Structures are given as C-alpha cells and as structure tokens.
Structure 1
Amino acid sequence: MKLVTAPSAVLSTPAEEVDPTDPAVVRLAEELIETMWASPGCVGLAAPQIGVSAQVFCVDVTGHPKAITTHGAFVLCNARIVEASRWRPGREGCMSVPDLTGDVKRAARIVVEGLRPGTGEPVTLETDAFEARALQHEIDHCAGKLFLDRVAGAHAIFPRKVYL
C-alpha cells in the first residue's frame, strides 16, 4: 500500500471506529501487516497512514533490540489505553514523517484493550518498554495525532539520520 505523509488531513483527523467483523476491516488488517513487513525498520502501521480513516493498526516489535516484552505480530481495532505508568522520554520516528525524529515522553508500561479483526474478540494486552511505545504511537495515529504533536518543542525534533 502507498503510505501517506504529513501534512495529509487523514493523519490529523480522528479515525472512525470500525466493525471488526466486517470483511473490509479484515482485508485492511491483512494489508496493514503486509505493508508493515514490506517496509524495512517498520514496527507498526495504522490505517490512517495508508489513507484509510479507520481505528485499525498493527504492531510487531519481534527481534527489535529495545523490545523487552513482545506479543508478536498483531492487529487491533478500536483500541484504547486503560492503564499507563512509568513515563519515560524516547526517540521516535514515523514513516509518515520520513525526514524527522523526535523525543516523546510515553508510558513505559501500559494496558490496552481492543478488538481482534475477524472475530471481534476483546483483547487486553499488558506490555512495556518498546512495545508499549509502539502501541501508543499507533493509537495516536488513530486519534489523529503524530509524534510531532507530543514533542516538548522544536528543541526535541531532529533530522532523521540515514545509515548506509
């Protein structure tokens, strides 16, 4: 799928809740996973990033050096953070903001509730560290927010480093 970049309006508008049993949502979930896995360094992708106003995202931090807890590859619909603690700053980047990174303070431990696409089964995930950061980043996308909306100011935004 083609990625949408800032300042596209779909990235700054809260996405619509979805029916996780709708076949179109199931296909969207598959497309998100395929696009994430096809994008080097990508650990999460939300529907607004491919131009779809839907509260659906995928995450997979498996094998990432900053990950402590990992739930493998998963997709959630209509997800909400229900507990958050141990706030820490950390550097974030985003495929929808390809030239910048920024320091963002996020909870290092969270509990998230959402629905599994296909079945609509309720899911509760408790996680920490890098996976928690990735989840918060994707939930923000579904709420119409970018990491740039969370930085402390211009002093916390940096040009993205390119490694050859």
Structure 2
Amino acid sequence: MENHETPFKAGLNSGLILGILSVVITFIVYFINPATLVSGWYGFVMLIVFFGALIYFGIQYRKSRGGYMDFGPAFSFSFIALLVAGLISQLGSALLYNVIDPALPGILVEESIDNAIAMMERFGAADSLSSDQIDEMRDNASSNFTILGQSKTFGISLFIYAFISLILGAIIKKRDKSLDF
C-alpha cells in the first residue's frame, strides 16, 4: 500500500497556509482602511476565498491519495485546516488589537454600531432604538475585542467549523466507482 499523507498533516499544512493568508489579508486591509474590517462585504469575500482555497487544497490532497477519498478523511482534513487557520487568525487579531493598535477596537466598535444603525434605518427600525440599547450594543461589541471575548468567539467558531467541514467533506470526497459490484 502507498504511503499517504494523513488528513491531520494535510489539514495542518493547509491550515497554516490559510491562517497566514488570513493574517496577511487582515493586516493589508488594516493598513488601507481599518473600518473595512467590520464591513459585511469584507467578511463575505473572506468566506468565499477560504471556501475556494479549502476546496482547492482538499482536491489536491485527494489527488495525492490516488484521486479518491471517503467522507471521513475529507471531513477531518477540512476541520483540522479550519481549526489551525482559525487559531492563527485569532493570534493575529489579538496581536493587532492588543499590541499593534490598542485603539483599533474602539474605532471598529463605533464603525460596527454605525453599520448596524444604517442597516436598521434601511428597514425603518432605527427610530425604535433608545440610547440605552445603543450603549448596550456598544458594550457587547467592545467585549468581542478582548482576549476573553475572542476566546469565546473561537469556541463558538468550532461548531461553525464543524458544520462547514461537513459541507466541504461532502464536496471534496470522491468514491471509487470501480469498486462497486
């Protein structure tokens, strides 16, 4: 039997690449316009880039295994890659928010509040917000930029990563139909 790279090792390598890519993109966007970090389109573009890259890496891994892969290894590969990329991204964000620019979370909180109010105005619901509700939104948004807040977010992200890995595993897997009788 051929010696294949394990899903863990392949996921680790892909996750390292994706994590570093995420940190680099985040820092580039930060240097261009920090407010972009809380815009909806930025998150959407990053999601598309990550999905595309993970599918590409997964198909490359499948090809290295002879062109076929069951769902289990495809899921494991995807989950490990997302886990590693998420950890690296969290470390990069913590570095950015706590060391490089400690004032950035305040700017991002205000920008995210402005974005939320603008969206509510489009739906005609902004008039119903009291100043207490806006202050509560501000406090909740501020807590997301602390180390504890980022840790909680990462914990929740593990469930999201598992769900995304289910989807990616289904996309990446390929059954050898020649084995069917």
Question: Which protein has the larger Cα radius of gyration, Structure 1 or Structure 2?
Answer: 2
TM-score by length of 1: 0.27
| Structure with the higher strand share, 1 or 2 | 1
| Structure with the higher helix share, 1 or 2 | 2
TM-score by length of 2: 0.25
Relative contact order: is structure 1 or structure 2 higher (C-alpha 8 Å, sep ≥ 6)?
A: 2
